[in-house]
């Protein structure tokens, strides 16, 4: 059996990939996908920990997280579409009316 | 195998449920109100607020947990609930005329405000990391939409996108913190985390430290501490003004409700490690918020930086990690809610059809044009700066008093120095209102109108 620490390390790596993706990519859609990678890293942690601890909590929580992620997709894509319609780009560097 | 039907204690989250029910009623009512008459929905929303407020007072003093320890009914949650309801009620009142003027009179606006409040109340009464997270998400998703409610306005779109991307990013951190807490302690329930830490101790559990760090980043984003504050000015400036008012009070209070409950209640065992971190964040947040606010020419942006500074003051009390600190935060949030909502109310009041008075220079000569409004704005600014005898002064006195009691005298001193810096930009607005003439263009426009009338 694969020890639980492997899963935790893998989810840590996935989370880092997601974070770095958000910080370096400039396309709103790709940033959004990176957020999803982060959330899935969290899901993996919950599942691995739940299995390791022999508790169902972790798996139930994953369902809740998936639901929240789906709701986020609905709002996020709508915003990105609205931005694209009015500006013809989803590059976050070009969305820069507001700054000090 | 015995099957025990879990108890459903709806009574203990009744105020939040009333808000939710009102949201659904308004959503249905939206279908039956003609365009241009959405003000009726505002009345319905206010009735819901009144009902939830009354229910909160009826439940006051009770203390119990419900839904298997996921939610607690206690004065802490009810008190925060009342702050949210005040913010909601005042925001609804601010919005009716504003929505009409800005041509975005849609009933969904009130639904989203009510749903956001429901999320806030859930967050304040949640005693499980997952319930707190769900409350936070309900709140955030509603606010993402509200920030971009003027959907053809480029600035509003931009504010909504920035808020969304950074909000979702920070939710990821918060959730990863919850996941690692679960991995380290075997539970996400705050009471059981306390039990686990009391039994097993904190040594030899490196995951726990990472988890606490991630939770701190997540909450830090939500309450806008430096270095996680960069979204605040943009979002506050781009969002519709009543929504900004609601966010600056409600969302911030909700963030602190979760932050306090998680750190002071569940992780006191690690307090040696996080109090100094919070103290450092407090210093950075206060100083950056106040110093950058001085340079702002847009009033919403100035109030945004001022709200960052106020988050810093609240962190001062939190770093003191005591009962007195919690009471000080609660009191401060009430005082802050009224003054900040009031300041935004003046901004909304001065808005005209399709355009708003957002530049500081727009406020020149307000003292003679509209003396009462200028007087109200003066009171709010003086209170935000913390000058006696206003509520802001008393609240700050409690905050810094809690820090001094906890032995953080240096932190209180830095807080007081920061209040002095903040007085500069608050008082500058007062000076502009009373001592500066309106700009030449405006004067010209008025004299032209006068000339036309004479002819």
- Closest residue in B to A64 (Cα–Cα): B134
Specify the DSSP class assigned to residue B74.
Answer: S
Which residues share a beta bridge with B64? B73
Q: For the residues B365-371, what does the mean pLDDT come to?
A: 85
pLDDT at B446: 47
pLDDT at B297: 85
Instruction: Note the ipTM here.
Output: 0.94
Summarised one tens digit per residue, pLDDT across range B111-168 is 999 999 999 999 999 999 999 999 999 999 999 999 999 888 888 888 999 999 999 9
Q: Work out the minimum CA distance from B230 to partner chain A, whole angstroms.
A: 10
Beta carbons of A42 and B175 less than 8 Å apart: yes
Q: For the residues B24-44, what does the mean pLDDT come to?
A: 88
A46: left (phi over 0), alpha (psi -120 to 50) or beta: alpha
To the nearest whole number, what is the mean pLDDT of chain A?
A: 89
Summarised one tens digit per residue, pLDDT across range A19-54 is 999 989 888 899 999 999 999 999 999 999 999 988
**Which residue, A94, A73, A45, is CA-closest to B168?**
A73
Q: For the residues B77-82, what does the mean pLDDT come to?
A: 94
CA distance B214 to B218: 6
Residues of A in contact with B172 (CB under 8 A): 15, 18-19, 35, 38-39, 42
pLDDT at B444: 45
CA distance B442 to B444: 5
Share of chain A above pLDDT 90, in %: 63
pLDDT at B455: 38
Beta carbons of A100 and B292 less than 8 Å apart: yes
Summarised one tens digit per residue, pLDDT across range B244-285 is 999 999 999 999 999 999 998 888 888 888 888 899 999 999
Mean pLDDT is lowest, of B120-134, B328-342, B385-399, for B385-399
pLDDT at residue B182 is higher than 50 = yes
Confidence band of B451 (pLDDT split at 50, 70, 90): very low
pLDDT at residue B201 is higher than 80 = no
Summarised one tens digit per residue, pLDDT across range B218-242 is 999 999 888 888 889 999 998 999 9
pLDDT at residue B383 is higher than 70 = yes
Q: For the residues A70-94, what does the mean pLDDT come to?
A: 88
Does B137 contact A at CB distance below 8 Å? yes
CA distance B429 to B361: 9
Q: Are B383 and B390 in contact (CB under 8 A)?
A: yes
Helix (H, G, I), strand (E, B) or coil at A27: strand
Beta carbons of A83 and B157 less than 8 Å apart: yes
CATH class of the structural domain A4-87: mainly alpha
Does B191 contact A at CB distance below 8 Å? no
To the nearest whole number, what is the mean pLDDT of chain B?
A: 88
Confidence band of B439 (pLDDT split at 50, 70, 90): low
pLDDT at residue B420 is higher than 60 = yes
Residues of A in contact with B164 (CB under 8 A): 75-76, 79
CA distance B375 to B366: 9
pLDDT at residue B7 is higher than 90 = no
Choose the closest CB to B179 out of A45, A82, A92. Answer: A45
Element (H, E) at B72: strand B71-73
Beta carbons of A35 and B172 less than 8 Å apart: yes
């Amino acid at each position: 059996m694969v020890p639980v620490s492997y899963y935790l390390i893998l989810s840590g790596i996935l989370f880092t990939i997601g974070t770095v993706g958000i910080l370096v990519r400039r396309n709103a859609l790709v940033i959004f996908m990176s957020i999803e990678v982060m959330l899935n890293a969290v899901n993996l942690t919950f599942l691995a920990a739940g299995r390791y601890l022999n508790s169902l909590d972790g798996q139930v929580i994953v369902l809740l997280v998936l639901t929240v992620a789906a709701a986020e997709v609905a709002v996020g894509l709508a915003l990105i579409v609205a931005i694209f319609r009015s500006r013809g780009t989803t590059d976050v560097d070009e969305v820069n009316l507001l700054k000090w | 195998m015995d099957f025990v039907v879990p108890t459903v204690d709806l009574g203990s989250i009744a105020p939040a449920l009333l808000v939710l029910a009102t949201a659904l009623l308004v959503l249905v009512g939206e279908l039956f109100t003609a365009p241009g008459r959405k003000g009726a929905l505002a009345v319905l929303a206010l009735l819901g607020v009144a009902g939830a407020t009354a229910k909160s007072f009826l439940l006051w003093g009770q203390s119990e947990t419900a839904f298997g320890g996921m939610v607690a009914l206690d004065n802490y949650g009810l008190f925060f609930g009342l702050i949210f309801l005040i913010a909601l009620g005042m925001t609804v009142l601010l919005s009716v005329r504003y929505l009409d003027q800005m041509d975005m009179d849609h009933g969904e606006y009130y639904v989203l405000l009510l749903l956001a409040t429901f999320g806030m109340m859930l967050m304040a009464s949640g005693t499980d990391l997952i319930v707190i997270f769900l409350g936070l998400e309900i709140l955030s998703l509603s606010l993402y939409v509200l920030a971009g409610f003027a959907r053809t306005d480029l600035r509003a779109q931009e504010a909504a996108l920035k808020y969304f991307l950074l909000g979702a990013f920070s939710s990821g951190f918060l959730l990863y913190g919850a996941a690692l807490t679960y991995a380290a302690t075997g539970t996400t329930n705050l009471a059981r985390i306390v039990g686990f830490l009391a039994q097993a101790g904190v040594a030899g559990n490196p995951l726990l430290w990472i988890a606490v760090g991630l939770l701190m980043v997540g909450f830090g984003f939500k309450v806008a501490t430096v270095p996680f504050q960069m979204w605040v000015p943009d979002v506050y400036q781009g969002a519709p003004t009543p929504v900004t008012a609601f966010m600056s009070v409600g969302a911030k209070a909700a963030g602190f409700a979760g932050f306090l409950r998680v750190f002071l209640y569940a992780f006191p065992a690690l307090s040696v490690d996080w109090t100094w971190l919070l103290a450092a964040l407090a210093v950075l947040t206060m100083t950056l918020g106040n110093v950058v606010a001085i340079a702002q020419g847009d009033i919403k942006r100035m109030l945004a930086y001022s709200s960052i500074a106020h988050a810093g003051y609240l962190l001062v009390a939190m770093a003191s990690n005591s009962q007195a600190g919690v009471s000080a935060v609660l009191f401060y949030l009430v005082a802050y809610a009224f003054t900040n909502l009031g300041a935004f109310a003046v901004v909304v009041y001065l808005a005209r059809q399709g355009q708003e008075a957002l530049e500081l220079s727009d406020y020149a000569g307000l003292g003679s044009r509209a003396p009462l409004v200028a007087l109200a704005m003066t009171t709010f600014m003086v209170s935000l700066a913390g000058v006696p005898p206003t509520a802001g002064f008393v609240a700050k006195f409690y905050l810094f008093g809690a820090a001094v009691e906890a032995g953080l005298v240096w932190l209180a001193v830095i807080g007081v120095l920061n209040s002095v810096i903040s007085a500069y930009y608050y008082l500058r607005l007062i000076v502009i209102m009373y001592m500066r003439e309106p700009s030449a263009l405006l004067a010209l426009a008025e004299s032209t109108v006068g000339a036309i009338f004479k002819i």
